[in-house]
Structure formats: structure tokens, C-alpha cells
């Protein structure tokens, strides 16, 4: 019996979100006295044995993955075979694009109850239950999984990465035959901006209070100084001041960064639904009655055009 963590790579390196999933899976394995294995798919530039530092006992490295990264049907077949081979009792994904596409399929394939968007370690006394975020971050639900095999997808920034030892993990090459897929990629396009919004630890976001797209320089400059992604409110995207993929909120992207800085955003309930899982929220607005201040940790009531240059300077001086 094992806990298997399904990792993801970006440019042939294990993603930070996967290290969070690994730390989470290892903690569950400890709770249940199971072994934690990590599945790494595709070629890698890393010496994977370092994952032992996070408490993983064995790395299952499946180099040949065919179309598994773009075809969730192929990925599901592959992962389900590996999970069965290694007697997975608990399977952990990141609640990422990949996890959202593959975990539900795997749930059906293995008849394994799925809890998506987990925010905490499970309770594993007489029964197995996991806390997840519901009502767009406005509440939590404690969900019991009753099937023998269980699948959890973990929200980003919900669990700290933890190095627990200096042991190396054993690497086991896996050579499962990958079925062919039927999805053809015609074109790929990368968004402008260096940091992806859903992966970002810090997000700087602008609203209508900035008065026009020509004033976004200061948002971008602060984001650059912080290594942050840029975002915007719905009216801003709807007026085409900024691209739609930057729209965070109930109907746009939901994010949970460590730090969310909102400039000139009043904080409508639909906007809050997309950002309320952020760890620290900063609101800068000239209207002291803006509802966003009620959801914020830090606030400045003032004119963004006066305040922002000083903040940018202070951040640059941090070193």
C-alpha cells in the first residue's frame, strides 16, 4: 500500500506546486504508516533522488509519456496502470490544469472517491475526511471519502514544502506502454508577462481606479520588482484595457497567492470570490468606503498615483 504523488514538470524541472503536493503526500503517508512514492513523467534535467529530502521513498520515473501531457485520456490510462502496479491507496495531484483534467477521470477509472481543492491534511481516525474550499472560497466543507482508493487534489499555496531528511530516494524506471491519443495540437500561444497568474506567489492587480490602460506602467513596475504576476478586475478586462486572461474573480481566474496587492479595485463580492484565498491582501484605494478594505490585511486610503511610486521605490531598496 502506498501514497503516490503525481508530480508535474515545467521546463524539465519539478514544479514548486508539485513539491507542495509531495510534502503533503509524505505527511499523509506518515499519518497512515504507508510509503510515499512520487511519479515523475517525461524527460527531466534533474537528479530526481533529491526528492528523498522531502521524505519520498521511491521515485517512479516514466520517461516515455507519449501524448500524456496534452491528452488526459492517455494520461489517465498511464497513471492508473502505475497506481495499480504500486498498490496506491491514496493518490495526490496538484489542483492544477493537469490535475483538474486527469484526477476526475482517474476517479472513475479506479472507482476512487475524489476531493478536489484540498486545503489541509486529512483526518484519518475512524474515517477519512478532507477539508476543501467551497462557495468560491467563502466557506469550507469537510468531505468524507468512503472508497478504498482515495484521490486528493491540493490547492496551490495551501501546504508548505517541507524537507524532512537528507536521504536520497531510490529511482525506479517505469516502462509502461503508452497508448496513442487522438487530440492534435494545432497552435500554442504563450501569454505575455513573465510570471503565470495561477502559479504566482505574488500578484499585483489593478482596477478601474487606475482610469485607463496607459496607467498600467506602475502595476507592471511593482510586479517586476516583486517577481509578481499582473492581474485586473472584470471591468478592466471588459473594457479591453487588459487581456481577459488577467481577469481575476468569480468568472475569471481564481487565485490563491501568498500576497495579493489590489490597486484601485473596490472589491465587489464577485472579485473577492476569486482572490479571498490569498494569504495576505493589500488594498490601495482612495475611497475609504471601498468594501475591499473589510477583506484586507493591510490598506492605504490614498491616491494610487501618489502612493505607488513610493512603494515601488521602497521595494527596489529592499535588496
Rounded to whole angstroms, the Cα distance separating 255 from 155 reads 10
Q: Which CB atom, from 57 or from 77, has the smaller least distance to another protein? A: 77
Stretch that binds another protein, among 33-41, 44-52, 210-218, 273-281 (CB under 8 A): 273-281
Per-residue cell: 99: 490535475
Q: How far is the CB of 307 from another protein (least distance, A)?
A: 5
Nearest to 210 by CA among 183, 174, 239: 239
- Is 23 near another protein (CB under 8 A)? no
Q: Which CB atom, from 117 or from 264, has the smaller least distance to another protein? A: 117
If binding means CB under 8 A, how many residues of this protein chain bind another protein? 91
- Is 71 near another protein (CB under 8 A)? yes
Residue 2 pairs in a beta bridge with: 35, 88
Any idea which residue has 491540493 for its cell?
A: 154
Sorted by sequence, the CB contacts under 8 Å of residue 275 that are 6+ apart come out as 203, 205, 248, 249, 254, 255, 260, 262, 281
Selected from 173, 184, 214, 289, the binder of another protein by CB under 8 A is: 184
Stretch that binds another protein, among 22-30, 35-43, 103-111, 209-217 (CB under 8 A): 103-111
Q: How far is the CB of 53 from another protein (least distance, A)?
A: 23
- Is 296 near another protein (CB under 8 A)? yes
Q: How far is the CB of 238 from another protein (least distance, A)?
A: 10
- Is 100 near another protein (CB under 8 A)? yes
Q: Kindly identify the residues of this chain, within the stretch 197-216, that bind another protein according to CB under 8 A.
A: 199, 202
- Is 258 near another protein (CB under 8 A)? yes
Rounded to whole angstroms, the Cα distance separating 214 from 317 reads 26
Q: Which CB atom, from 138 or from 163, has the smaller least distance to another protein? A: 138
Nearest to 194 by CA among 179, 206, 204, 209: 204
Q: How far is the CB of 144 from another protein (least distance, A)?
A: 5
Residue 192: Cβ-neighbour burial (10 angstroms; 0-12, 13-18, 19+): exposed
Residue 263 host element (H or E):
strand 259-263
Q: Are 51 and 59 in contact (CB under 8 A)?
A: yes
Sorted by sequence, the CB contacts under 8 Å of residue 258 that are 6+ apart come out as 157, 201, 202, 278, 279, 280
Q: Which CB atom, from 164 or from 286, has the smaller least distance to another protein? A: 286
Q: Which CB atom, from 56 or from 223, has the smaller least distance to another protein? A: 223
What are the backbone angles phi and psi of residue 231, rounded to the nearest 5°?
-145, 175
Stretch that binds another protein, among 25-33, 44-52, 57-65, 311-319 (CB under 8 A): 311-319
Q: How far is the CB of 287 from another protein (least distance, A)?
A: 13
- Is 65 near another protein (CB under 8 A)? no
Q: Kindly identify the residues of this chain, within the stretch 128-167, that bind another protein according to CB under 8 A.
A: 129, 133-147
Amino acid at each position: 500500500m502506498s501514497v503516490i504523488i503525481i508530480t508535474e514538470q515545467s521546463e524539465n524541472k519539478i514544479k514548486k506546486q508539485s513539491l507542495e503536493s509531495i510534502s503533503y503526500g509524505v505527511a499523509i503517508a506518515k499519518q497512515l504508516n504507508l510509503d510515499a512514492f512520487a511519479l515523475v513523467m517525461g524527460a527531466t534535467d534533474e537528479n530526481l533522488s533529491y526528492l528523498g529530502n522531502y521524505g519520498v521513498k521511491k521515485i517512479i520515473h516514466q520517461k516515455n509519456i507519449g501524448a500524456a501531457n496534452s491528452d488526459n485520456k492517455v494520461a489517465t490510462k498511464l497513471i492508473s496502470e502505475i497506481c495499480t502496479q504500486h498498490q496506491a491507496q491514496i493518490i495526490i495531484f496538484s489542483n492544477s490544469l493537469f490535475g483538474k483534467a486527469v484526477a476526475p477521470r482517474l476517479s472513475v477509472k479506479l472507482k476512487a472517491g475524489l476531493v478536489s481543492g484540498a486545503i489541509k491534511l486529512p483526518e484519518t481516525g475512524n474515517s477519512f475526511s478532507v477539508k476543501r474550499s467551497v462557495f468560491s472560497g467563502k466557506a469550507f466543507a469537510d468531505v468524507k471519502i468512503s472508497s478504498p482508493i482515495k484521490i486528493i487534489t491540493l490547492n496551490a499555496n495551501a501546504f508548505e514544502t517541507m524537507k524532512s531528511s537528507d536521504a536520497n530516494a531510490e529511482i525506479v524506471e517505469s516502462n509502461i506502454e503508452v497508448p496513442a491519443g487522438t487530440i492534435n495540437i494545432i497552435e500554442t500561444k504563450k501569454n505575455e508577462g513573465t510570471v503565470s497568474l495561477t502559479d504566482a506567489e505574488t500578484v499585483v492587480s489593478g482596477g478601474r481606479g487606475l482610469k485607463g490602460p496607459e496607467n498600467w506602467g506602475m502595476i507592471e513596475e511593482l510586479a517586476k520588482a516583486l517577481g509578481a504576476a499582473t492581474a485586473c478586475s472584470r471591468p478592466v478586462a471588459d473594457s479591453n484595457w487588459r487581456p481577459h486572461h488577467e481577469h481575476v474573480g468569480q468568472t475569471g481566474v481564481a487565485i490563491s497567492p501568498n500576497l495579493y496587492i489590489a490597486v484601485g479595485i473596490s472589491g465587489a463580492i464577485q472579485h473577492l470570490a476569486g482572490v479571498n484565498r490569498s494569504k495576505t491582501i493589500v488594498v490601495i484605494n482612495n475611497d475609504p468606503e471601498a468594501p475591499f478594505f473589510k477583506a484586507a490585511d493591510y490598506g492605504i486610503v490614498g491616491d494610487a498615483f501618489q502612493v505607488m511610486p513610493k512603494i515601488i521605490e521602497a521595494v527596489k531598496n529592499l535588496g
